[in-house]
Structure 1
Amino acid sequence: MNRRRREALAAYAFLSPWMIGFLVFMAIPMIASLVLSFTDYDALRSPTAVGWANYRQLLEDPAVGKSMVNTLVYALMSVPATMAVSLALASLLSRAGRRSAGFFRTVFYLPEITPKVAVGVLFLILFNGQAGLVNAALGLVGIDGPQWSTDPVWVKPGLVLMHLWSVGSTVVIYLAALRGVPTELYEAAELDGASAWQRFRRITVPMISGALFFTLIVQTIAALQSFDEAYTAFYGSAASATYSSDAALFYLIYLFQQAFEFLHLGYASAMAWLLFLVILAITLVQVRLSRRFVYYEGGTR
């Protein structure tokens, strides 16, 4: 028992930094925001209890619905594109030599450590409809590029393309998963006359479905919490003076405005909990559907 007690104490000692961080920076703020969501609070005066008024206002505020739709549309565009591009790049890297693969893996991952604010500024430079590098490149092949930063139809596709700049972490995950697929399966399938597409569909995808499922959840949650690039590009001090459309008004941007521009902290807390419930519901649906498609070594779960 003394040995078990010592091992337990050692385990708790190693876990304590995470546990303390979780309590201080996650659990306690979440409980505080839940309490504040039932109050009228502006950080200047003491909170005043208002019951369910903030949540009823969420149903009546048209900007909440608009920002949520913008966020969901962006997620539906961004997540599949990120996964497809990452898988294509990882497939190319898996065929490269060990030294060259290491070099390109580093190159692909470097944009991940680029500040998101810098990416937002870069968006305005590259996707400028008049003098942007993207439209200049399209003009070389005879394509008249759209107004990425001012046309509401092209704002979200432009942000998706900009997001593909930083897919390095997903590429690394897929590359590790691809290298874990037994080569014997490909050799046996090739001997049976399976085409490259059949090998990819029947072997590669099922064997890396766990990694695909993980990145699906992570990328969905990240897309639903999109903020930095869009806010910097369209709602920063310089951009807000010229941009008037709501096409880039994502849910987290509107939450930020309510909390820190209008000081409606109680209402912003209610918005945060609504987003939490939406993310929870979508994640539960994804987990439920994954039981039919995700393959584990013990079989499909």
Structure 2
Amino acid sequence: MSLLEETKRLLRRYRIFPKKRLSQHFTVDSTIFQLMAEYAALVRDDVVLDIGAGFGFLTRFLAQRCRMVVAVELDSKVAAALRVLLKDLPNVVVVEGDVLNVPLPPFNKVVAVPPYGISSHLIQWLFRKPLQCVVLVLQKEFAQKLAAPIGSENYSWLTVLTYYYFDVELLDEVPRHAFYPPPEVDSTIVLLKPKNPRPFRVNNEEMFKRFVQTLFTQRNRKLKNAVQVFVKKGFTRKSIQTDVSIPFQDKRVRELAPEDFGALANVFSS
């Protein structure tokens, strides 16, 4: 029985209707699992986090290759089915809840096909986790934002922050028919590897994040004008003379490299 047929059977059996608001699209192409496991370079001692585990097809595949899998599922009906379907696997822990808020045991790798709707929050949540690597299937357009060239249409605050924390590789494209029900967009397998040490020094990471996010609300303005928005929002008590203190002031926000944002954030936090 194909994964598509098995998914449809399980949906009928457990009377589950995929919820669009939860971005529920069940993976029905097992070749994706093999690729993800290879990119994660799994070894027997790994503890892997699977986010949006669904009916556990990927979870089962991972459990055969590592010490433990933590399978997180938000939908209560799907989570109940997951516990039954994976009860023969002693090295799988099923956690029901929102991965961003629920308590989790320690893990060193993430291999998952998470709901599209949480992608941005998930990437930020992963920034400060002590990880060896992350392999995710993400919406193609979103994935391109993580590694967008400076000044491009997709270059954003998330590009800058991701560059600071991770090396990003965009790998195989995943067609929409690899899921049921199929989403309206194609996807990409993304590999994230934490940068240790970080590529540049930041005095205050929270200030850096706020600074970058605020400036990108003015992405087409020159820095000397856009930076006033940050000051007016009260994120800094420092009074800055833009004609003297700020480098790159005649560049537009979208033209600044991640290192430039780091240097500027340090001016405000020093």
TM-score (norm 1): 0.20
TM-score (norm 2): 0.22
Structure number with higher helix proportion? 1
Structure with larger RCO (C-alpha < 8 A, sep 6+): 1
Structure number with higher strand proportion? 2
Q: Looking at CA atoms only, which structure, 1 or 2, has the larger radius of gyration?
A: 1
